[in-house]
Amino acid sequence: MNKKSNYLKYFSILLTIVMISNSGFGQTYGGNSAETNRKFAWPEGKKMALSLTFDDARLSQIDKGIPLLDKYGVKATFYIQPGNVLQRTEGWKKAVKDGHEIGNHSVFHPCSGNFAWSRNKALEDYTLQKMKAELDSANRFIKEVLGTSTSSFAYPCGQTYVGRGINTKSYVPLIASMFKSGRGWLNEAPNDPYYCDPAQLNATELDGKTFEQILKLIETAKANGQWLVLAGHEMNDSGNQTSLLQTIDAICKYATDPANGVWIDNVRNVAEYIERKLLDESIARNRKGEIIVKARPGSKVSVEQLRHEFWFGCAISNSLADGKMPESDLKQYKEKFILNFNSAVTENALKWYSMEPRKDEVNYSVVDGILKWTEENNIPLRGHNLFWGISKFVQPWIKELSDDELRKRMQERATAITQKYKGRFAEYDLNNEMIHGNYYEERLGPEITKMMAQWAMEGDPNAKLFVNDYEILTGKRLTDYMTHIRSLLKQGIPIAGIGVQGHSHGETFDRQQLKNALDSLAIFKLPVRVTEFNMPGQNSKFYGNRKVVMTPEDEDLKAKELSDYFRICFAHPAVEGILMWGFWEGNNWIPASSMYRRDWSITPAGEAYRNLVFKEWWTNESGTAGKDGLYVIPAFYGKYKVTVGKVSKVIDLIKSEGKAVVEFRK
């Protein structure tokens, strides 16, 4: 090889390394390295956040420290040790009542066995299971003795591993799955809210420091818009491992003076603020474009949103078209559907067992009726589903067919549906819940899924075929689903999008798992739809028991969980829609998860949904065109009516274009 080709060779190796090191980080919320210069917006224009944290429930915290904090109304976080709490139980209960946060700090405080006192509880001898059990019991202690729950953890000695040598494991993922934050110890830098991992928060030592030393840290954090977490142990006038009362007093005085621009609060409140803020920024980044109105200078302009581009949808019951719903309910059902949703999915109508329960008696009328209604109302409809291989949902007559007959029948069904409804269904679920049951593959071999896709495309070459499954967003079957999707793509099956059902949680859901699942699925660069959302879900006390009545507390929780779920999904760039699986108590497989009660009164969750979709994430603005004749506003992607004077135009602002220009000057 000559010099030039050598150079090219090394250059291309280098380039590959650079490309590898830059891939796969695109889907986080706030954080990527390109954003290091952006300053985070703390509440009320504050320049930084400051959290005071103290460990081990040392007696001086109750006896001396907390009364001092209370003098300033400063709320701190205390990562407790159960044994010490029991020596001042009443004091700790009062601290909780006064707004201080209690964090988990394990039960036995395991650290490296290099500390002689930790030799019989050395991290080197721990396993992840043992750690999990210990953290669970610390959580139970906090709940039972102090009557509060916790979302914050501090690593004893700041150490984050268990095991030794090649068997060492990090327990950071365990903390990330159990808590909203995990605080370290003896770190050097404050936390950058755009970059920091909440499961590995930096904490700087407060013990033994003077206020002048701390002030330097505060000034650095302020200059960079960061979150400074200080950590200490004893709170006293002097001593080993002691945060000095004099220093704490000066910090509180400084931080509570509004002139100094410091937001001082406990870890939970700051972590929650950052989480919410990053989601909202991600929503603005991923869901908003720009409307540019060109008019005569000084014209009055109004911009009114008519619908979202993002799919906020719901399943449609067979009753919409089978004549079985009483007329008055049907009227409400249709009105409320149009009022709340811009997209739909057939709940049961398109399923093979529903269309052809007996051999050769195919009923198209319900599907026809639903399609007619959705088309009249400009509602795109998902076709759920062409096939569903969970054995108990396969009709007995199909099970009696020979292999050859079965193959023929499947071909006929796939092609007949897509041909008959060509161009009318927005997309289809090809073979529902394949990772949970695949009757057709068991009968006819692994190639059958590819055949299904081919047959469907023969009927309609533009048919969009989705996979659709459950226990994905809870994380339980995420890895299986990823493997499964990879294998389908490898076989050349034209998967157009990924359906995730979104009803496998209980009364609440795991935020970390949801985010992690969406980040993971995003690597396929296919649209992700949450296809069958219910809150509460299938693992709640409300599933299968229609007699459990929702208390007002249950109603509030449902509203909060629904809002958080929608916010996380709407913030995620890979998600293109969320469809509920029922919205009315009179017609919903989990009645408690409805937006409307049996009598059509709206539930708090219904109100919460409407507030998000039609208020918070909705653009209605008016103003005046500038001297250049321009009126420019950021707006959620969707359909708009733009009015200048007496002229109105309807326009689409779509994500793939990012902006829409409307001309009124002609």
Burial-class residue 658 by CB neighbours within 10 Å (0-12, 13-18, 19+): exposed
Residue 633 burial class via C-beta count within 10 angstroms: exposed 0-12, middle 13-18, buried 19 and up? middle
Piece of 151-159, 464-472, 536-544, 589-597 that binds Zn ion (CB under 5 A): 151-159
Nearer to Zn ion, 126 or 352 (CB): 126
Query: Of 53-61, 315-323, 426-434, 604-612, which part binds Zn ion (CB under 5 A)?
Result: 53-61
Pick between residue 156 and residue 591 the one whose CB is nearest to Zn ion: 156
Stretch that binds Zn ion, among 113-121, 150-158, 395-403, 429-437 (CB under 5 A): 150-158
From the DSSP assignment, how many helices (H) and strands (E) are in the chain? 21, 29
Q: CB 109 → Zn ion: shortest distance, Å?
A: 6
Q: Residue count at the site for Zn ion (CB under 5 A)?
A: 3
Q: Which of 184, 197, 174, 270 is nearest to 227 (CA)?
A: 270
433 in contact with Zn ion (CB under 5 A) = no
- In whole angstroms, how close is the CB of 111 to Zn ion at the nearest point? 8
Which residue, 80 or 398, is less far from Zn ion as judged by CB? 80
What residue number has its CB nearest to Zn ion? 55
Which tokens go with 661?
């220009």
CB of 250 to Zn ion, least distance (A): 24
SS (HEC) of 448-484: HHHHHHHHHHHHCCCCCEEEEECCCCCCCCHHHHHHH
Closest CA to 256 of 529, 507, 72, 475: 72
Report the nearest approach of Zn ion to the CB of residue 79 (Å).
7
Q: What is the nearest approach in angstroms of Zn ion to the Cβ of residue 271?
A: 20
Q: Is 55 in the site for Zn ion (CB under 5 A)?
A: yes
Token output for 407: 């193959």
Give the shortest CB-470-to-Zn ion separation in angstroms.
Answer: 41
Out of 48, 56, 82, 293, the residue judged to bind Zn ion by CB under 5 A: 56
Q: Which stretch binds Zn ion (CB under 5 A): 155-163, 382-390, 407-415, 522-530?
A: 155-163
State the nearest-atom distance from the C-beta of 49 to Zn ion, in Å.
23
| 439 Cα distance to chain centroid | 32
Q: 207 vs 347, which CB is nearer to Zn ion?
A: 207
> Binding segment for Zn ion among 48-56, 442-450, 592-600, 613-621 (CB under 5 A)?
48-56
> Going residue by residue from 399 to 418, which x/- string records binding to Zn ion, judged by CB under 5 A?
--------------------
DSSP string across 569-583: HHH-TTEEEEEES--
User: From the CB of 157, what's the least distance to Zn ion, in Å?
Assistant: 7
In this chain, which stretch among 16-24, 54-62, 82-90, 176-184 interacts with Zn ion, using CB under 5 A?
Answer: 54-62
H/E element, 307: strand 300-308
**Closer residue to Zn ion, CB minimum distance, 53 or 538:** 53
If one asks whether residue 356 binds Zn ion (CB under 5 A), the answer comes out as no
* Per-residue tokens: 364: 């198209």
Q: Which stretch binds Zn ion (CB under 5 A): 154-162, 190-198, 343-351, 362-370?
A: 154-162
| Edge-to-edge strand list for the sheet holding 288-294 | 630-636, 288-294, 659-663
Cβ of residue 246: shortest distance to Zn ion, in angstroms?
23
- What's the token pair of residue 214? 């701390």
**What does the block give as tokens for 452?**
């299904």
Transcribe 40-58 into DSSP letters.
P--GGG-SEEEEEEEETT-
- Going by C-alpha positions, the residue among 345, 335, 279, 366 that lies closest to residue 570 is 279
Min dist. Cβ of residue 185 to Zn ion (A): 8
The 3-state DSSP class for residue 193 equals coil
Residues lying near Zn ion in the complex (CB under 5 A) are found at 55-56, 156
